[in-house]
Chains A and B, each alone.
Chain A
Amino acid sequence: MDRRSFVKAGCIGSASLLMQGLDPMVRAETAPNAVPPIELRGLSGFKPSPLGMPGLYPGRVVEVREDKAIVRNRVSQPIVGRMLERAMKELTGEKSAREAWAKFIQPGDVVGIKINPSGAPACCSSPEIVREIISSVRLLGVPARNIIVYDRYSYEMDLGSYQALLPAGVRIVGIQDAFASGGGYDSNVYCDANFFGEWETRSYMASIVAHEVTKIINLPTMKDHSASGVTGALKNLAYGTFNNVARTHRAPYTFTNPLIGMMCTVEPLRSKSVLHIMDGMRQVWHGGPLTQVQDFIDQPGILMVATDPVAMDTIELEAIEKTRRQRGAPSVWQQDSKSITADSEEFHHDASKNLFYRQPGHIEAAGKLGLGLADLKQIEHRLLSSES
């Protein structure tokens, strides 16, 4: 195809690291002081919804694991369909998938599906799961034109070939182009903070979130993250909704904690984000979010659903920590200066190295903001056995 004829090849690696603010060459001259004041400005007049985070089932995380859900790096459409149905029924206690979905979506909704194409093509939201979500939403009577699959960066969506792989009629939107800032953001809804003396201190909410969609189904992937420790439901929503977030990283320091959680509290993002479906078909345990190195990408065939993003990310963090321990990699909590490198190649090929002092504490911080439960003792982790 044509667009693909030109676009994709290389927004991975250094160029993409730069755009996401993860370029280790952009370094802080000195260690930053404490977290600066952060001003949050939500959408004026918006009435919060009871479906908003932590949603209908605080602390509940349903996990389904099927070995055959992904074989030789290919995701099975029918198997993930059954996994999603089982998980939704278990989450809601409903007898049918339709009734389960109806807890969150009504026919008149404009449904945003927030994918995570960052890391495509090696590890991104599986088109097969996106298809199942679309199919489920359509069964409720939502027309295809009222379903919007979106992310901030169109070039990353291109890498995942979502345009060609998703059903016709569904809108597929990249909020901004690779190298152009452009529009697409509401200047009246923002987070304002000066982290490193940057010129622009505001991050604005995507207009598609503020004004177009009425519900958001969040589809994060299961990955470690060089700055935030892991990237899950919270990070996919926060840094995938607000612009100008690269400024929060200045190697080896990052303010992902507490900004990720704080962004998720801003309305209407908080209220509209009614369901989180974590794609753990692949699990990146080092090199996230952009790695293409298959040595660091397992294929466990996991799917998790929750309305509580904090609980979901807590389970994800545990899983990635477990894998890292098994592989002899240091914890994402490690704060040893010897592990820090400014060489992105070294980072991408050595699991003992990192670009930043990671901030997995952003999950617990989000819990303290009321977005969900981060205490494992309080989390109701329902693990469904394999059908096969």
Chain B
Amino acid sequence: MIIEPGNSNPPEDWPTLLKDNARSGGQKPYAARSPEKALWQFRAGSSLRSAPVLKEGKLYVTSVAGAVHAIDAVTGLAKWKFQAGGQVHSTPSLFADQMFFGCDDGKVYAVNRHDGTKTWEIQTGAEVWASPVIRNGITFFGSADTRVYAVEAATGKPRWVQELGGRIYSTIYATERQLYLGCGDGKVYCLDSSSGKILWSTETGNGIDSSPAVVDELVLIGSEDFFFYAISATTGQTRWTYETGLGIASSPAISSDSTFFGSKDGFLYALETRTGKLRWKTVVGEVVTAPPVVGDGVVYIQAGGTFALDTANGNVVWRAALGGAIQSVPVLAGESIYLASLNGEVYALR
């Protein structure tokens, strides 16, 4: 692969996990072809285990060593660096002028995304690996201390705290009035976003570390009990389940009437969202835990390498490998793909 200095226009934004709060992954037309060259490569200096986010031409990555890097998405040059108080596994979220992320020191940090200065921090009782989600000016996140927190995004002032029954590693899906998430106690929870009150909970057969998506009044989420669940967003009643060969840590991506997710059994699955009927499944690796990202007619998944599959039939359109260390969910921005790697490299590909 040839590395060429980039001189294109700033790519479009990707400010949170899977692009937006709907976890859409974009769903805009992207070229269904393998990347041919690297625009730049950035060395973060330690392992990158969270996904990058992108806004106004800056790419933001967090590292296990606790460093947050802002990188010029066009040139790959560092803009600023912030050092958190512990390891960082949380994918950051961007909102207004701030960047939010959780840390193993139990804190969630808000950092000015333009200059890297800390705006506020809030302490929880254990590590925060989930990605903070911002809705209506409130930042919502779960902690391994078993609690869900709601704080004002601008100030960090707490609004409410709700205790659940297990560790929380699932990133919250926030609608206008409800929050949905999975929990280590094996339950899927629906909370009132204004008070934190538990509206309903639905039990699965084992702990949950997948993050939900919500579409057409269905909460879609995988469990470590090997099943994928579709649950009524209103009542918590299970509408359908689909059994895979091993646990499901991968979060789903939704596109029109299909739901895509990976399983630790190595398959990427496509189900009919309304019924749970299998449309196709394709082996993409020994273990799949990353969430897929859906483009126009193509679903992308990281499973040792980057795979692009035809959403209609699951056929592999292309696959690319940059070595065994690339596990990051890709950020798809225009014709560019951004990847973070376990060995601390960030790549911009085209």
Contacts and interface: CB of A to CB of B under 8 A. Distances in A.
Interface in B223-261: 224-226, 245-247, 249-251
Contacts of A1: 129-130, 169-171, 182, 209-211, 249, 251
B209 A161 contact: yes
B166 A2 contact: no
A159 interface: yes
Interface stretch (B27-35, B44-52, B110-118, B274-282): B44-52
Contacts of A127: 207
Majority-rule SS of A interface residues: loop
A3 B89 contact: yes
A9 B289 contact: yes
B51 A5 contact: yes
Contacts of A381: none
A168 interface: yes
Contacts of B266: 292
A161 B224 contact: yes
Nearest to B88: A3
B70 interface: no
Interface string B1-33: 000000000000000010000000000000000
A5 B167 contact: no
A15 B343 CA distance: 12
A73 B290 CA distance: 22
Contacts of B49: 3, 6-7
Interface stretch (A88-96, A177-185, A368-376): A177-185
Contacts of B51: 2, 5-6
A98 B169 CA distance: 32
B50 A9 contact: no
Q: Which of A5, A10, A180 has the most CB of B within 10 A?
A: A5
The prevalent SS among residues of B at the interface is: loop
A6 B328 contact: yes
Interface in B286-319: 286-291, 302-305
B340 interface: yes
Interface residues on A, range: 35 or more
B209 A163 contact: yes
A246 B206 CA distance: 34
Contacts of A5: 17, 50-51, 91, 211, 250-251, 289-291, 329
A14 B324 contact: yes
Nearest to A3: B89
B131 interface: yes
Contacts of B285: 9-10
A2 B129 contact: yes
A361 interface: no
B169 A11 contact: no
Nearest to B326: A10
A338 to B, nearest CB: 27
Contact of A10 (B65, B146, B324): B324
Contacts of B329: 5-6
A32 to B, nearest CB: 28
B167 A168 contact: yes
A196 interface: no
B291 to A, nearest CB: 5
Interface in A143-184: 155, 158-159, 161, 163-169, 177-180
B54 interface: no
Contacts of A164: 166-167, 169-170, 184, 207-209, 224
Contacts of A294: 245
Contacts of A178: 47, 325, 342-343
Given A2-B51, A2-B91, A168-B144, A163 B167 contact: yes
B64 interface: yes
A3 B50 contact: yes
Given A13-B304, A163-B144, A179-B343, A2 B171 contact: yes
Contacts of B337: none
Nearest to A9: B303
8 contacts: A1-B129, A5-B291, A6-B50, A6-B327, A10-B305, A161-B224, A163-B209, A177-B47
Given A7-B289, A14-B324, 7 more contacts: A1-B209, A2-B50, A4-B249, A9-B302, A121-B264, A168-B144, A180-B64
The 6 A-B pairs at the shortest CB distance, nearest first, are namely A15-B324, A10-B304, A164-B209, A8-B289, A1-B169, A3-B89
